[in-house]
A and B are shown apart, each in its own frame.
Chain A
Amino acid sequence: DAGVTQSPTHLIKTRGQHVTLRCSPISGHKSVSWYQQVLGQGPQFIFQYYEKEERGRGNFPDRFSARQFPNYSSELNVNALLLGDSALYLCASSLSPGGTEAFFGQGTRLTVV
């Protein structure tokens, strides 16, 4: 069985541009969450989606948005990129939004120049 897959793996963007990151969860998992990890820190929660509805949002500006599709895959969008958005973006999938085990993809490393 395929694990959580994310695309692209690496991305370089210019300040002010827009970026879309993609995530496909493990088959059968209906919950997808997004995390941002800056160098030297632990991942920080951005969004959680379950059954195509937003179930949680972290302390990130409105430039960050996400959605989940009928096949449970998800996109994270970031508008008006800032240098500080440079980070590793991780997607996690789980069976449900509650206490079940989360599995992470390999991440997308975004560099904003």
Chain B
Amino acid sequence: GIQVEQSPPDLILQEGANSTLRCNFSDSVNNLQWFHQNPWGQLINLFYIPSGTKQNGRLSATTVATERYSLLYISSSQTTDSGVYFCAGKGAQKLVFGQGTRLTINP
């Protein structure tokens, strides 16, 4: 089955810095999503991006499906960006999640 790897596992930055989170997947996927998990556990949808580039405010994402990776960019980080970010790829029926990147933004 599909395997998803995220890097780095942990990232600590100062407020205002930019960050890049990476997601590699082992096989072609029908769906690639980025989530932010809030402190209460809910997965908040950031991007649905099987291919191409999308932007939403300070966040943007790029998926290069032929090379099996996706990148999440966060610009001008704020303390509220802290938390765990997951990417997940879907093959047949299920979403396969990476282990997540824990982002800490210090004031």
Contact = CB atoms under 8 A, between A and B. Distances in A.
Interface stretch (B55-63, B74-82, B90-98): B90-98
Interface stretch (A13-21, A40-48, A66-74): A40-48
Contact of A56 (B42, B43, B93): B93
Interface residues of A, number: 27
Contacts of B90: 98-99, 102
A78 interface: no
Interface in B64-87: 86
Contact of B50 (A43, A99, A109): A99
A99 B92 CA distance: 8
Interface of A: 33, 35, 37, 41-45, 48, 55-56, 58, 88, 90, 92, 97-107, 109
Given A33-B94, A45-B94, A99-B90, 4 more contacts: A58-B94, A102-B33, A104-B35, A107-B41
